[in-house]
């Protein structure tokens, strides 16, 4: 009974920023639905810019009822009924077209209303009561001319505007009456040959049929005229109601747009303040990191200098120690040479001096 296909839905109540991609607040739905096998297309979006709605449904027939397309502004006829609604700061536009057939009665409607940027109003109603009687009414808003002959784009009050109305009635009743008259004259011509009495009888019969046909035609015309006047009054009342609804929707849309602009400005200010705070915190952290790194570098250089100084002190100490040992060995060698040939006790004293020198060397 009901099937959806290729439906896209977007909903973001507050809007957000993911990476470098900004998602504005709003709601949108676009897709197709099939109801009892008939396709319905819809494209709707609602956000800070306003409301946009476009819809179309396949024509269908259900018993004596048939729904089809209708006439559009440029005169062409659409295959399917459609609706086009836009309420934004740039454009306030409404359009609907379609036709309905129920048994022998067919009615079509077309309404085009636009408040901004170009004020225009156009409508068309077609009503076919039967093959003998059809009505069509066209209406169009006439914008006044400016100082240089240009048409005024906007009109302050629609009630003061002028309209061009055109009504057309197509009827075949007179053709039916003419056909009856031809039959009557043909009957009168034949009566000349058939006799006066027979001709009079046929003439009376034809006259009676003609009078009855005229009465029926007059009654049909009167009935249709009454219904037509009633339909015209209903259409005018509906037109006035639509004008009031459009004016109310425009005011409400303007309020919503102003409110959304204020809310968006507040959110942008809040986001900018948060961003500035994060930038300041990041800058402070960066400066502290630089200071810590410089301090650690100075500590490392001081530690390295201290180790180098200790190493140099140890080198000097070792060199001094080895210098004492060299002198002690040299003195011992000299004593050995001087005391060659002496007693063993003298040699022991020499080795004792050598050991003493080595002990001083450490």
Tokens coding 323: 């210098």
Do residues 122 and 135 touch, judged by C-beta distance below 8 A?
no
Structure tokens at 270: 């809040």
For residue 302, pLDDT over 70 is answered with yes
pTM: 0.41
- pLDDT value for 353: 61
Query: Which of 60-69, 282-291, 339-348 is predicted with the least confidence, judged by mean pLDDT?
Result: 339-348
- Percentage of the residues of the chain whose pLDDT score is greater than 70: 73
Q: Stretch 212-228: mean pLDDT, rounded?
A: 86
Quick one: pLDDT band at residue 147, thresholds 50, 70, 90?
A: very low
Q: Look over the chain and give the mean of its residue pLDDT values, rounded to a whole number.
A: 77
Residue with more model confidence, 248 or 155: 248
- The region of weakest confidence among 135-144, 256-265, 280-289 is 135-144
pLDDT at 33: 83
Cα–Cα distances in angstroms (integers) from residue 185 to residues 138, 153, 167, 204, 334, in the given order: 40, 61, 35, 12, 180
Q: What percent of the chain has pLDDT over 90?
A: 0
Token output for 239: 């037109």
Buried b (16+ CB within 10 A) or exposed e, 318-344: eeeeeeeeeebeeebeebbeeeeeeee
Has residue 165 got a pLDDT over 80? no
DSSP secondary structure of 156-215: S-GGG-EEEEEEEEEE-HHHHHHHHHHHHHHHHHHHHHH-HHHHHHHHHHHHHHHHHHHH
Angle at the Cα of 25 (from 23 to 26), degrees rounded to 5? 115
Q: Using an 8 Å Cβ cutoff, are 82 and 98 in contact?
A: yes
Q: How far is CA 31 from CA 1, 7, 255, 324, in A?
A: 17, 4, 29, 103
Question: Does residue 274 register a pLDDT over 70?
Answer: yes
55 near 40, Cβ under 8 Å? yes
Cα separation, 88 vs 49, in Å, equals 6
């Amino acid at each position: 009974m009901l099937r959806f296909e290729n439906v896209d839905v977007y909903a973001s109540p507050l809007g957000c920023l993911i990476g470098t991609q900004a998602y504005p607040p709003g709601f949108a739905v676009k897709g197709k639905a099939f109801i009892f096998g008939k396709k319905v297309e819809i494209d709707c979006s609602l956000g800070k810019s306003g409301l946009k709605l476009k819809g179309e449904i396949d024509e269908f027939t259900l018993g004596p009822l048939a729904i089809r397309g209708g006439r559009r502004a440029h005169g062409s006829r659409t295959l399917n009924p459609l609706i086009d609604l836009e309420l934004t700061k740039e454009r306030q536009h409404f359009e609907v077209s379609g036709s309905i057939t129920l048994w022998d009665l067919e009615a079509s409607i077309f309404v085009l209303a636009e408040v901004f940027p170009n004020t225009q109003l156009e409508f068309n109603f077609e009503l076919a009561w039967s093959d003998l009687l059809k009505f069509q009414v066209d209406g169009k808003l006439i914008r006044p001319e400016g100082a240089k002959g240009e048409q005024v784009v906007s009109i302050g009050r629609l009630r003061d505007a002028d309209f061009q109305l055109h009504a057309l009635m197509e009827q075949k009743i007179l053709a039916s009456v003419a056909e009856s008259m031809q039959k009557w004259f043909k009957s009168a011509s034949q009566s000349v040959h058939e006799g006066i009495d027979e001709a009079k009888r046929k003439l009376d019969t034809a006259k009676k049929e003609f009078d009855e046909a005229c009465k029926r035609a007059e009654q049909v015309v009167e009935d249709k005229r009454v219904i037509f006047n009633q339909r015209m009054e209903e259409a005018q009342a509906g037109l006035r109601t639509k004008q009031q609804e459009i004016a109310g929707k425009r005011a409400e849309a303007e309020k919503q747009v102003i409110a959304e602009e204020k809310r968006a400005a507040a959110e942008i200010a809040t986001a900018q303040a948060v961003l500035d705070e994060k930038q300041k915190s990041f800058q402070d952290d960066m400066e502290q990191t630089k200071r810590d790194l410089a301090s650690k570098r100075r500590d490392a250089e001081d530690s390295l200098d201290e180790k180098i100084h200790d190493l140099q002190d140890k080198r000097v100490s070792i060199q001094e120690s080895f210098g004492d040992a060299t002198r002690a060995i040299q003195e011992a060698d000299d004593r050995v040479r001087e005391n060659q040939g002496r007693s063993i006790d003298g040699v022991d004293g020499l080795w004792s001096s050598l050991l003493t020198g080595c002990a001083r060397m450490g």
